[in-house]
Structure 1
Amino acid sequence: MKIAARRWAEIDLSANNLTRSIPEWLGSFDINYLNLSHNSLSSEIPTTFKSFRNLYHLDLHSNRSSGSIASVFQITHPFDGRLESLDLSDNSFSGGIKDIGTGKQVNIQRVNLSHNQLQGTMPESAGNLTKLSALDLSYNQFNSVLPETLAKIENFR
């Protein structure tokens, strides 16, 4: 079943007893604010999330989600600085963050990826997030030196 694109400004379903997977069909809506935190969702981030056009806040923290977070950083539409806040903490996401700072979402201001199973290195492209004011990567398995490109981020100074 294909759902036609619709405009929804906000969806907040936090602190419910939602289980199973994050619905793929959410990607067909024009959502500005999506909060699915504090549930028991146990899936990967749907690839349809790449279709979001006007999202400025995505909060999936405190679920049981797993897999890659790459689709969030591969959103294909320019956001004109809209994506401001991303919280994927307290899940079981794995893999690396090689896509951070490579897409059109470079105006993110707050990123919380703490308490996951992310690993690998912090890529040089992280320095492209020049509007970043908060970055929490604690309680993961990263194993590298911080890239010098982070010095370009004015809000860290």
Structure 2
Amino acid sequence: MKLDISSNSIQGELPANGIVNFTKLLHLDMRENSFNESIPTKLFRLQRLQNLDMSSNMFNGILSQEVGALRNLRNLSKLVTLQLDSNLLLDVSSNRLSGEVPVNFALGTKILALDQNEFSGPLPQNLSSLSELKHLDLHNNNITGELPEFLYQMSSLQVLNLRNNSLEGRIPNALFNLK
């Protein structure tokens, strides 16, 4: 079963109690609407869900508490993408999510798009544990601090977009050793 409600003017909170009744749902596309509030945890109880696109809404709250713990649930074992584009594994860009950059749920992720939110603080050290990460997009957030050394040791990383944050300090020489 596929439900595509993308590119509308739907607003308000996503009705979590109703959505859990879609037990055969494989694909849910709700990008480019005006959903707000936090991402409902009941959404991740859909055991057959394989594709979920929540980008370009107004979801808010702390992603690591809502999705981070859920990523470990067996219910998410069939979730292939969190974005319609099959190249992306997690895209919650263009929302109002806040807190520190969440990493604990992104193991195995190749592309992590958390841009255009309200994430703050320094880049977390455990980003280096994402050994398969090829693309990291954190532009238009409130990331602070210096560029950490571990970024230059992530051998799979091909694209790093940190533009329009509050980074400071010097560009480390290790940057020029990247291939």
TM-score bin, normalised by smaller chain? 0.7 to 0.9
When Rg is computed on C-alpha atoms for both structures, the one with the higher figure is 2
**Matched AA of 1:41:** F
Give me the whole-angstrom Cα distance separating, in 1, the residues matched to 2:30 and 2:119: 20
Among residues 9, 30, 49, which one is paired with 1:17 in the alignment? Answer: 9
Match of 1:60 in 2: 54
The alpha-carbon distance between structure 1 residues 139 and 18, as it changes in their structure 2 partners (threshold 3 A), is same
Q: Verify the 8 A CA contact 2:93 2:117 in the aligned structure 1.
A: yes
Q: Verify the 8 A CA contact 2:11 2:33 in the aligned structure 1.
A: yes
| TM-score, normalised with respect to structure 2 | 0.66
Give me the whole-angstrom Cα distance separating, in 1, the residues matched to 2:90 and 2:37: 17
More moved, 113-122 vs 80-89: 80-89
Match of 1:142 in 2: 143
Q: Deviations over 1:46-102 (max 9, x none)?
A: 1224535555543212112211112222222253883452211112111112x41x2
Q: Quick check: which one's helix share is greater?
A: 2
Q: CA deviation at 1:148?
A: 4.2
Q: Verify the 8 A CA contact 1:81 1:107 in the aligned structure 2.
A: no
Q: CA deviation at 1:153?
A: 4.6
Give me the whole-angstrom Cα distance separating, in 1, the residues matched to 2:43 and 2:25: 10
Match of 2:80 in 1: 82
- Whether 1:93 and 2:97 are equivalent positions in the alignment is yes
Q: CA deviation at 1:136?
A: 0.8
Give me the whole-angstrom Cα distance separating, in 2, the residues matched to 1:35 and 1:121: 31
**Structure 2: runs of 5+ lacking an equivalent:** 82-87, 159-178
**Structure 1: runs of 5+ lacking an equivalent:** 1-7
**Matched AA of 1:77:** L
Q: Verify the 8 A CA contact 2:120 2:142 in the aligned structure 1.
A: yes
Match of 1:121 in 2: 122
Match of 1:4 in 2: none
More moved, 125-134 vs 12-21: 125-134
Match of 1:35 in 2: 29
| TM-score, normalised with respect to structure 1 | 0.74
Q: CA RMSD in A?
A: 2.7
Q: Verify the 8 A CA contact 2:48 2:79 in the aligned structure 1.
A: no
**Equivalences for 1:100-115 in 2 at 5 Å?**
100=103, 102-103=104-105, 105-115=106-116
